[in-house]
Amino acid sequence: MSGELLSANHAAALAATLAGRANRSGRGFVSGVYPITPSTECMEYLCVQKIEKGKVVRVESEHSAMGVCIGAAAAGARTFTATASNGLAYMAENCVAAAGLRLPIVMAVANRTMGPPWNIWADHGDALMLRDLGLIQIYCADNQELFDTVLAAFRLAEDRRVLMPVMVCMEGFILSHTVAQTVIPSQDQVDRFLPLTSIPQQLGATPHSLGQIELPAQTEAHRRQHHQAILGAQQVFEELAGDFASIFGRELQGAVVPYRTEDADTLIVSMGTMGLTAQRVVDQARERGEKLGALRIRMLRPLPVQAIAEQLAGKSRIAVLDRDISLGFGGVLWGELARLAAPGAVVQNYLAGIGGGDVRPEHLEQVLADLKGRQTAGSPVFLEAL
Amino acid sequence: MRLPDGVELPLEIRVHGRGGQGGVTCAKLIAALYARMGLAVQTFGDYGSERSGAPVQAFTRVDRSTITNRNKVYRPDHLLVLDPGLLETPVLSGVAPGALILVNAVATPAQLGERYRGYKVATVDATDIAREQGIGSSSVVIVNTTIVGAYARLLGLPLELLAEVYASLGVTGDLAAAELAYQKVQIQEASLTPSPAASDTPQAAAGCAAKPSPTRDAGADTAPRASGMPAVTPIAGQVLDVPIDLRTGLWSNQSPSYCQYTAPCNAACPAGNDVVGFIQALKEGGPEAAAALLLRTQALPSVCGRVCPAPCMSDCNRRSFDGPVNIRSLERWIADHSDLHLVKETAAAPRQIAVVGGGPAGLSAAYQLALRGHKVTIFEAAPALGGVLRYGIPAFRLPLDALERDLARILNLGVSSKCGRKIDAEALIRLASEYDSLIICTGFGAAHELGVPGEGLPGVEQGLPFLDRVKEAAEQVSGHVVVVGGGNSAIDCARSALRCGAESVKLVYRRSRQDMPAIDEEIEEAELEGVRLMTQRQPVQCLGSDRVSGVLLAEVEAGPPDASGRRRPVVTDRTTLLPCDRIILALGQGNGLELLPAQWRVDSGRAWAGDQPLQVFFAGDCCTGEGTVTHAIGNGRRSALAALADLEPGLRDQCKAAEESPSTIKEGETQADRVVAPAQIRFDHFQSDPPAKDRHIPVSVGRESFQEFNLGLAGPEEANRCFSCGRCTNCDTCLIYCPDGIIYRAADGYRVDLEHCKGCGMCVAECPRSAMEMNEKSLPGGSL
Amino acid sequence: MISEPQLCGMAQTAVDRKAPLLRPGNTNCGGCGMSNLLQMMRRAIADRPVQLVIPACCGAISAGAFPQAGFGAPTLLTTFASAAAAATGAASVAALNGEETRVICLAGDGGTYDIGFATLSAAAERNEDILYICYDNEIYGNTGGQRSSATPAGAVTSNTPGGKLEQKKDIMAIMAAHRIPYVASLSLAHADDTLRKLRHALDLRGFRFLHVLSPCPTGWKSEPALGIELVRLAVRSGLYPVLEIFDGKRHQINIEPDFSDEALEMYLSLQRRFQRSGVKASDLRPAIDQHWQNLRVLSGRIVPARRER
């Protein structure tokens, strides 16, 4: 198998490097970075790259890391940062700012449980907490996908119809630190895939202010614009996937990844690496003659409502796995798509792998057994003692 | 409690105010009033990013029970406007005809205009009342507690209720203001034919609500426009520079203007010279430019530049900083370094005018008349013109050539002089009929005597004849000389005596040195030359047999003050004998109008025959007795112009206008109010720099001869020290310190952009020389 | 022997920036010290290209309500703590592209001394090519006047009704400790000195920090017209030292105070924020004297123990 042996963290950094270099005849590349487990090695790898017309700034906090990206993006450069968990929470205010200013900043998040109590292992709660801000979120399951998605994220973010931050997520340790073969394209190919960064509102010579105070009606209009744009991002993503394929000779995964769902009556829906585990369970179940399918959600924002609804149609039993919990409610993914199932379907939430537990096929078998026994959906179920 | 008349519930009230000026509190005060009546209330402000001064709104609702309406007030039943400037904003939106409107304004309800006729309108000048009561700061007057008093009156509420409410809120201190507003508010009922409904839509009033649109699909393409607001353009559109269009000039009720105040030197100058004017002209344009200004009022600049007592310097504001500007010597510099002659005007109807007396008053009168194109003849008893200038002031103070220069300038204007001609009463009557006008400037009369035994002894003489003789030819004076007196003449006699060879000169004066009327510099120079002052001494007897050999001096104490404030000298009986060889008396002179015809009487500076005023005027010491050259020059000028004005009524206003100082006096002000005091000069803007001193020839050389002792200034740089009190010099301080940068250079100075001026007053506070002032916009001089 | 106010020919240069930096019609309070500062900056900047980076302070409101531009230069408004970080980004891009653009942070004392402190310190430590100007009105002005660590002891603020107990943080010493090329305090009452320093700071490379005492009539409860005079009094009394610090070591006092208690008393009496707490000049004098003792040492009254090689 071809490809370099890289961890997903390093792959993300490398994708950013290639993308940064691709802007060398534009206004260059700037990154603000700060370490936090399990994202640290992403930024470390970035710091040792040589990027023509690029600068990586080792700042003093995640808030400032995004701050640097905001300033640089506003000045017209391509930008990137990486963080996780509490770092993402500290960065949150500036994520709001980046999104509100419609800046095409790409960020790699190594999803990790938020604390205290401190926990360094995987949990989707950090990124999900920021899903309402007006940035695009895509959750990845393997190294190649992660690399490809980060690369594509630059093109997606900078598209004039989109113009907002893109957050590419990988589960901490489980994906971030796992090393696997990753096909890396040439700089020339990347140059062809990524046009030079140029945003309409960038600071030039004309006096204008980015981020001014405004009145309620103006905010409504701005939100509407932003909402439209993010909804339209799915279409843009599909378009660029076509280019991606023709330049890199490889398919970019779509907004949702269905696995053997066409004739399934039962579905396991999940995000991230658990989706791959679900696929293995699907194969096993199929051998037993069960009509099981798996649906992995990659793009959470914009939520690909139509695609999901199509996949959920006709399924009478649906297990939604959440490696996260909205305390006082239940799993976020479940909350988002339960209403998209067919009326009468049993859509049951399973909280799997919260705090980083290793979700194995046997756990999913438990899930299926539980689901099978249900006539109606109940409250979210914790898969404890993993 | 009963509801006030005309009030129906639920009641909605809207207050329009300015940020930082208590609009929200106003609404709260009103709420407190109603709450006191047992009603349910709700009050809140419309918050935003308003800074101090920007328009803000506040709302109050009143009802019987808990109010559930949480929106802003779009249809007020009562409207308060806390600042008349706000009437330019859409305050009337949503206000139905017949509603109650209360405005803080100087204007009466009728003066507010047609638009308001359909409403019950009331106005009160709450700003004036609140400012008087000291509520708020001078640029930010807080009117809320005042205007609520007027509001209470409109509702027919008793003052006691107001007092209770104010006490409960801890603002009893402002009750007096509220009560004044209660009394003074003027009310106009709604007219029967209401004015057309207000054109603004209710939504626009609140300023920010979009038109309520039907539910739109969140994915729809178009961004709807809220009325009156710029559209939100698509993000991928071009970046545009959209300038701000806020008229922040509406924020304040005061605005700055450039004005002139009177410099103290100008106020002090007895000749009425534009001192600050000529010094600034010297600085900017050199001696010729300065002379062009100075010569308009000053007939004898070379003279005054040497001998004027310079009250301008005593009053110079720079005295309080690092020493007065050496104005006298600057005047001398101008006279000595310029050769300008003013162009003679052509008079529409040239007059023939006779001037009797060729001293400073007469010369000044002749000069002013000749400048204006009239034919003047001076009659002088002495052989040549000049009076005390030629015959009294010694040459070491006023050299002859300096005097001749000034005289030449006057004679060049076509003035004729007839010297050696003494005029008596008969001649006066004849002159009065021959000439269109007659101006009498004969100066002082007889010299005062000592009135002590032995005064008749040889060797005791009057000072003026002594000075006169000394000017003719050098006189030998030997031995020890005593001069009695404290004025300039006494000093002149003392210094002249030295130059004539006296072995010693002592000057005896009955009061203290500070009380001596002589010019300080002259006293100093006399002391440098060796004159010894003996103050608080009075001669009580001259001793000697066939010639004076000594004088008995009594000690004098300062007694209680007299009408002028000076302490009356009290002669004691402690005496000492001072040997001397000559006593010179310089005790001042009496009035000099002995030559007048018996049928003439003097009143208000002119002669009268019975009830008839004659075309005969007096000028100088003979009528005012002020005793200085400069007073004489000023008086001569004014009397000449008064004489002219009397010949032609039309001229009177012209002459009056020429007299008035350029600083406009405001209502209630006197001329004195317009004089710049030291406290009005911003000393911090200037660097300390002591005055340039006059140079003089060495004392040892000076006291031996009558050559000019004082050499004046080395150069005109002293003019740079003039603060230019009350007069703008385009120093740009206002322009640089304006926080909003809205002062611009204009052709003749500066222009303030009143559309954007927030009335902060920094320009006026920083002006180094008090050449700006703040005006209330609603008063004359302001912009509203 | 000059007697006129010396304004350095400030208002008469040929390269005056024709368009204002802070435009008329802005919503700053009348008499705002930040407005004065922006007028001076306009003259100093002249024809240089600049970008302004302003955090969520009063300056962000001066930028105008969308879409009207309050500033005559491209401006980025950032979150409260982020000015120095965003400016780092913008300055990096200018450097990468070989542009002459000067990136200027304009932040209040809140965003500098408090919430933005870490960001500021890190950018200074990296010696980013940024001109950081702190206009210090000694309160959180934008939120209605709460205390900051720049509020002087004895000042009443909206959340310290009895007067703040703690001393004002010494931001000059803190920034000097970062060994950046240039640290200076500016007096708005001394226009020529201010202009000289602004021009100097604009020409240098590396991190430059300017501290400006910015009178705030709204927060200080003083007359708007007296803003410049208050700064003048603060300088005269020694309360506000005006100096430059080069490379974190060489200290140069620019304006000698006369340490007058009369000036200090006048300064306090003209602001109700001091009157209400009852603080007197004699209360403040010991700290002022102590501070000046240190400044005298730092500005070279003592020969250093070891000579530089």
Q: What confidence category does residue B199 fall into, taking pLDDT thresholds of 50, 70 and 90?
A: very low
Q: Which of A160, A215, A306 to mutate to test the interface with B (most CBs of B within 10 A)?
A: A215
| B167 pLDDT higher than 90 | yes
Per CB-CB distance under 8 Å, the chain C contacts of B686 are 3-5
The owner of tokens 């020919």 is C9
- Could you tell me the CATH superfamily of domain A2-197+214-248? Thiamin diphosphate (ThDP)-binding fold, Pyr/PP domains (3.40.50.970)
Measured between alpha carbons, how far is B547 from B460 in angstroms, rounded to an integer? 8
The percentage of residues in chain B with a pLDDT greater than 90, rounded to a whole number, is 63
ipTM above 0.95, yes or no: no
Do β-strands C75-77 and B772-776 pair in parallel, antiparallel, or remain unpaired? Answer: unpaired
Whether B218 has a pLDDT exceeding 50, the answer reads: no
CB contact under 8 A, B689 and C229: no
What is the reported pTM?
Answer: 0.88
- In the numeric block, the tokens 């402002």 are attached to B174
Nearest Cβ partner of B761 from C20, C69, C225?
A: C225
Helix (H, G, I), strand (E, B) or coil at B582: strand
Triad A9, A10, A15: Cα angle to 5°? 100
The pLDDT value recorded for residue C275 is 84
Cα A80 to Cα A47: distance, rounded to the nearest angstrom: 12
Residue B47 predicted with pLDDT over 90: no
Strands A29-33 and A78-83: parallel
Q: What is the three-class DSSP state of B45?
A: strand
- Residue C64 tokens read as 């105008």
Q: Which residues 40-79 in chain B show a CB within 8 A of chain C?
A: 49-54
Give the DSSP per-residue string, A240-309: HHHHHHHHHSSPPP-SEEEES-TT-SEEEEE-TTHHHHHHHHHHHHHHTT--EEEEEE-EEES--HHHHH
Instruction: Give the residue, B223 or B258, on which the prediction is more confident.
Output: B258
Average confidence (pLDDT) over B306-310: 95
Q: According to the model, what pLDDT value does residue B98 have?
A: 84
pLDDT at B225: 39
β-pair partners for B41: B62
Nearest to A203 by CA among B377, C97, B396, B467: C97
Distance CA C19, CA C42 (A): 9
Considering only residues B51 and B593, tell me which one the structure prediction assigns the higher pLDDT: B593
Report if residue C130 sits inside a domain.
Answer: yes
Domain assignment present for residue C280? The answer is yes
The residue-averaged pLDDT of A15-44 equals 96
Confidence of residue B490 (pLDDT cuts 50, 70, 90): very high
Separation of alpha carbons C141 and C147, rounded Å: 9
Between the alpha carbon of residue A158 and those of residues A155, A199, A276, the distances in Å are 5, 7, 30
Q: What is the mean pLDDT of residues B730-752?
A: 91
Do B505 and B494 touch, CB atoms closer than 8 A?
yes
Contact C225 B717 (CB under 8 A): no
Task: Round to whole Å and give the CA distance between A335 and A353.
Answer: 17
- Is it the case that residue A333 has pLDDT exceeding 80? yes
Cα–Cα distance, C132 to C106 (Å, whole number): 6
The confidence score (pLDDT) of residue B776 equals 81
C62 interface with A at CB cutoff 8 Å: no
Task: Indicate the pLDDT class of residue A74, thresholds 50, 70 and 90.
Answer: very high
Q: Which residues pair with A317 in a beta bridge?
A: A266, A346
> Could you tell me if residue B250 is left (phi over 0), alpha (psi between -120 and 50 degrees) or otherwise beta?
alpha
Residue A176 pLDDT exceeds 80: yes
What is the predicted pLDDT for the residue at B748? Answer: 83
CB contact under 8 A, A200 and B238: yes
Q: Mean pLDDT throughout A168-176?
A: 95
Residue B273 has pLDDT above 90, yes or no: yes
- Which stretches of chain A sit within 8 Å of chain B by CB? 102, 160-161, 163, 200-202, 204, 206-208, 213, 215-218, 220-222, 224-225, 227-229, 231
Whole-number average pLDDT of chain C: 91
Q: Which residues of B touch C3 (CB under 8 A)?
A: 686-687, 689, 720-723
Burial letters for A81-116: b for 16+ Cβ neighbours within 10 Å, e otherwise? bbbbbbbbbbbbbbbbbbbbbbbbbbbbbbbbbbee
Q: How, if at all, do strands B40-45 and B11-18 pair?
A: unpaired
Across chain B, what does the average pLDDT equal?
Answer: 88
Look at residue C305 and tell me whether its pLDDT is greater than 60. no
- Find the Cα–Cα–Cα–Cα dihedral A221, A225, A228, A230, rounded to 10°: -130
- Domain A257-385: state its class: alpha beta
How far from the centroid of its chain's Cα atoms is residue A386's Cα? 25
With a pLDDT cut of 90, the percent of chain A lying above it is 96
> Number of helices and strands (H, E) in chain B?
23, 29
Distance from the Cα of residue B69 to its chain's centroid: 59
DSSP H/E element including A100: helix A85-100
Which pLDDT score is estimated for B219? 38
What is the residue whose two structure tokens read 């047609």?
Answer: B114
Kind and range of the H or E element at A78? strand A78-83
Q: Please answer whether residues B752 and B728 qualify as being in contact, where contact means their C-beta atoms are separated by less than 8 angstroms.
A: no
Q: What is the pLDDT of residue B3?
A: 78
Average pLDDT over residues A140-153: 97
pLDDT of residue A320: 98
Q: Please, is B629 exposed, middle or buried when counting C-beta atoms within 10 Å of its C-beta (0-12, 13-18, 19+)?
A: buried
Lowest mean pLDDT among A122-131, A155-164, B519-528: B519-528
**Helix (H), strand (E), coil (C) string for A102-121:** CCCCEEEEEECCCCCCCCCC
Per-residue confidence (pLDDT) for residue B604, from 0 to 100:
84
Q: Is residue C68 part of a domain?
A: yes
Is the residue at C13 inside a domain?
A: no
> What pLDDT is stored for residue B635 in this prediction?
94
**Is residue C121 in a domain?**
yes
- Chain A residues near residue C67 by CB distance under 8 angstroms: 208, 212
At residue B592, the pLDDT reads: 72
Structure tokens at C46: 């002249």
Count up the domains in chain C and report the number: 1
**Average of pLDDT values for A343-354?**
95
Cβ(C266)–Cβ(C242) under 8 Å? Answer: no
Coil, helix or strand at residue B77: coil
* pLDDT tens figures, C109-149: 999 999 999 999 999 999 999 999 999 999 999 888 999 99
Strand, coil or helix: what is B764? helix
Average pLDDT estimate for B466-489 = 90
**Cross-chain Cβ contact B235/A201 below 8 Å:** yes
- For residue B372, the one-letter residue type is R
pLDDT score for B50: 63
Q: Which two tokens stand for residue A265?
A: 């009556």
pLDDT recorded at residue B6: 74
Partner residue facing B739 (CB), from C2, C31, C229:
C31
Residue A3 has pLDDT above 90, yes or no: no
- Residue entry with tokens 């040497």: B306
The helix (run of H) or strand (run of E) holding residue B182 is: helix B175-184
C303 pLDDT tier (thresholds 50, 70, 90): very low
pLDDT band at residue B471, thresholds of 50, 70 and 90?
A: confident
d(CA B322, CA B318): 6
Contact (Cβ atoms closer than 8 angstroms) between residue B243 and residue B767:
no
Chain A nearest CA to C64, separation (Å): 7
Please indicate, yes or no, if residue C27 is contained in any of the structural domains.
no
Q: Give the residue from B21, B24, B52, B283 with the most C CB atoms within 10 Å of its CB, the best one to mutate.
A: B52
Note the residue count of chain C.
Answer: 309
A-chain residues near B229 (CB < 8 A)? 215, 217-218
Q: What per-residue confidence (pLDDT) applies to B337?
A: 95
| Domain chopping of chain A, boundaries | 2-197+214-248, 257-385
Is the confidence at residue B779, as pLDDT, over 70? Answer: no
Separation of alpha carbons A351 and A321, rounded Å: 6
Residue C5 lies in a domain: no
Mean pLDDT of A170-196: 95
Residue B644 has pLDDT above 60, yes or no: yes
> A: neighbours with 3+ CB pairs under 8 Å?
B, C
The single-letter code of the amino acid at C273 is R
B11 band by pLDDT with thresholds 50, 70 and 90: very high
Which residues span the domain enclosing C165? 33-299
Q: What is the 3-state secondary structure (H, E, C) of chain C?
A: CCCCCCCCCHHHCCCCCCCCCECCCCCCCCCCHHHHHHHHHHHHHCCCCEEEEECCCHHHHHCCECCEECECCCEEECCCCCHHHHHHHHHHHHHHCCCCCEEEEEEEHHHHHHCCHHHHHHHHHCCCCCEEEEEECCCEHHHCCECCCCCCCCCCECCECCCCCCCCCCHHHHHHCCCCCEEEEECCCCHHHHHHHHHHHHHCCCCEEEEEECCCHHHHCCCHHHHHHHHHHHHHHCCCCCEEEECCCEEEECCCCCCCHHHHHHHHHCCHHHHCCCCCHHHHHHHHHHHHHHHHHHHHHCCCCCCCC
Residue C10 within a domain: no
- Residue-wise pLDDT tens digits, A250-270: 999 999 999 999 999 999 999
Residues of C whose CB is below 8 A from B246: 25-27
Note whether A23 and A77 are within 8 A (CB): yes
Q: What mean pLDDT is predicted for residues B466-488?
A: 90
Residue C67: CATH number of its domain:
3.40.50.970
Across B195-204, B616-625, B632-641, C26-35, least confident range:
B195-204
Element housing B639 (H / E): helix B629-647
- Record: contact A209-C69, CB cut-off 8 A: yes
Gap between the Cα atoms of C90 and C178, Å rounded: 21
How many CA atoms lie less than 13 Å away from B354 in the CB half-sphere? 20
